[in-house]
A and B are shown apart, each in its own frame.
Chain A
Amino acid sequence: MRKLRKLWLDGPYLVWMAAFIIIPLFTIVYYGLTDKSGAFTWNNILEMGTPERMKALLLSLILSLIATAFCLVMAYPLALILTGMKGGATAFIVSIFIIPMWMNSLLRILAWQTLLERNGVINQILGMLHLPKLYIINTPYAIALGMIYDFLPFMILPIYNSLQKIDPNVVNAAYDLGANKFQTFWKVIFPLTLPGVISGITMVFVPALTTFVISSFLGGSKILLIGNVIEQQFTQVGDWNVGSGLSLVLMVFILISMAVMQHYDKAADEETTKL
Chain B
Amino acid sequence: MVTADLSAARRIHSSLSLAAPIRAGDLSRFMRPLITALIVLALVHGGLLFVQPTNAPAAELAGDGPQVGVVFDLGGRGDKSFNDGAYLGAESAAKKLQARVQFIEPGDGSDRGAGLRLLAAERRALVVGVGFIFTDDLIELAKEYPDVNFAGVDFAVGTDKFGDPIPPPPNVAALKFREEEGSFLVGALAALVGGSKKVGFLGGMDMPLIHKDEAGYRAGVMHVCKDCTVIAQYAGVTPEAFRNPSKGKELALSQYQQGVNVIFHASGSTGLGMFEAARAMGRGHYGIGVDADQYGEAPGYVLTSMVKGVDNVVYDTIRRVKDGTFQGGIFSYGLKEKGVGYVYDARNRALIPDSVRARLLDIERDIVAGRIRVPSTRS
Indicate whether A and B interact.
no
